[in-house]
Amino acid sequence: MLHQHALKVGVVAATVLGIAFTSCNKDDNPDPTPKTRSTSYNLVGTGTNAARITGTVSIYENTDSSINVTLVMLTNKKDTVHQVYFLGGNYTTPTTDTLQALEAKGNGAALAVELFKNVNKITLRQAAGATKEIPFRYNDAVAYIGHLKVIHSRFSKDTIGIGNFGKSN
């Protein structure tokens, strides 16, 4: 009789443990919100403003692994159309590769300029009109050797902000 009772208790314990282990299985409940990352780099002025931070460029990873790259210009002139260049190489030894070239109209206050939104690859413009598609996810972006340069206007060569990006920083 004692043997039968021990057998029943063992079967019940095994069943309870089996249910407990099955309900704790992590594969049944994956984390629905993947971790995202971000990194920022400073732009500084030139000449007498060389020590002054004039902007930041930030990389944000989205939950789908695409990225956004945003420039915030802290220094800009209201109603002036500034030229923004995102180039290969660091700013002391640039390459001819261009990731982005665009215009941004100044507002006299902090101005956010979206360089890339929801991208995982970009088309790199190279010398002589050649293009090359490259992967551009978070790890690719922070490993890229590049820099940003903001020029006062199309008619001026005055740089209002310059800074390295990614691995060149």
Q: Which tens digit of pLDDT belongs to each residue from 93-107?
A: 999 999 999 999 999
The pLDDT value recorded for residue 9 is 46
pLDDT band for 168, please (50, 70, 90 cuts). confident
The pLDDT value recorded for residue 140 is 96
90 or 24, greater pLDDT: 90
Indicate the residue type of 138.
Y
Mean pLDDT score, 69-93: 95
Q: Which tens digit of pLDDT belongs to each residue from 13-71?
A: 455 445 544 555 455 555 455 568 999 999 999 988 899 999 999 999 999 999 999 99
pLDDT band for 149, please (50, 70, 90 cuts). very high
Q: Which tens digit of pLDDT belongs to each residue from 112-146?
A: 999 999 999 999 999 888 999 999 999 999 999 99
Contacts of 74 (CB under 8 A, 6+ apart): 53, 54, 55, 56, 110
Is domain 38-166 annotated with CATH 1.10.10? Answer: no
The pLDDT value recorded for residue 87 is 96
- Whether residue 91 is predicted with pLDDT greater than 80 in this model: the reply is yes
Per the listing, tokens 């590049």 go with: 146
The pLDDT value recorded for residue 60 is 97
78 or 26, greater pLDDT: 78
Strand order in the sheet with 67-73: 111-119, 67-73, 53-61, 38-44, 159-166, 145-151, 81-90, 93-105, 121-125, 131-135
Break the chain into its structural domains and give their ranges: 1-30, 38-166
As a whole number of angstroms, the distance between CA 120 and CA 10 comes to: 55
- Whether residue 8 is predicted with pLDDT greater than 60 in this model: the reply is no
